Structure 1
């Protein structure tokens, strides 16, 4: 079942359960997906949907930290709840060992020799880990591996 279909089923379940917070978050995700489909005039596949959901989680994490810094625990709690709902539709997170293994395989397959080949390595890695790991942290690990 596609991610969009899963989101729509979850939306129906949330309506039946009268879970307003979950329903609102799922509707927001579906609206973001629909907006991109309209803007780009194409139907999104699961990888595209994962990218949209990952971006939504990142935005909410940024908002969460800003609300906590401002002492707005009520708004921070809302953001945390939305993060939890959205992450439920993303693939399982990769462990550190799995990430290191994927990085070394990507370096080998791309024939990377140094920092000048970082783009090649990230190009190989991105489709494999999109939505399953923090791309910023992975980028740091790739940089460290290429420098050693």
Structure 2
């Protein structure tokens, strides 16, 4: 089932269950997706694809993590908890992330495939990782691993 259909089905289920927090978060995700669709129209695309939706969801998670950290620093634990509840809902729609060992293996393979020899080749390795594992690899964690693999 594609993400657009899944959003609709999950929203209906959460509304039936009376889970207002989950319903609110899913509505927010749908609104953000529609916003992305509208932004993509000038380039001739009617709807953002699955990769675009996954990228949008990752951005939403990142934004909420930052907000939760700021709320904690400000002593607003209840708002941080709300942000983390939204993160949990959003992450339930994301593909499963690679574990540490799988990430290491992917980095080793990308270094070997690109023939990277020094830190100057980091861009090529990162591009290969993104092309092959964009949905399941956290690029923020992959960067330091690539740097270490290239001796940086």
Which TM class, normalised by the smaller chain length? over 0.9
RMSD: 1.3
After superposition, the C-alpha distances for 1:79-137 in whole angstroms (9 at most, x for unaligned) are: 01000000000111211110001001111111211111111111111244435343222
User: What corresponds to 1:135 in structure 2?
Assistant: 139
SS of the equivalent of 1:147 reads coil
Does the 8 A contact of 2:40 with 2:48 survive in 1?
no
Describe the shift of the 1:32–1:97 C-alpha distance in structure 2 as closer, same or farther (beyond 3 A).
same
User: 1:48 Cα deviation (Å)?
Assistant: 1.1
Structure 1: which 4+ aligned runs deviate by more than 6 Å? none
Q: Distance in 1 between matches of 2:132 and 2:86?
A: 25
- Tell me whether 1:74 sits opposite 2:62 in the alignment: no
Written as runs of structure 1 = structure 2, the 5 A alignment for 1:80-99 is 80-99=84-103
TM-score (norm 1): 0.94
Q: Distance in 2 between matches of 1:55 and 1:133?
A: 14
Any gaps of 5 or more consecutive residues in structure 1? Answer: none
Any gaps of 5 or more consecutive residues in structure 2? Answer: none
Identify the structure with bigger relative contact order (alpha carbons < 8 Å, sequence gap 6+): 1
SS of the equivalent of 1:34 reads helix
Does the 8 A contact of 1:60 with 1:79 survive in 2?
yes
Q: Distance in 2 between matches of 1:122 and 1:145?
A: 12
The count of residues paired between Structure 1 and Structure 2 equals: 148
TM-score (norm 2): 0.92
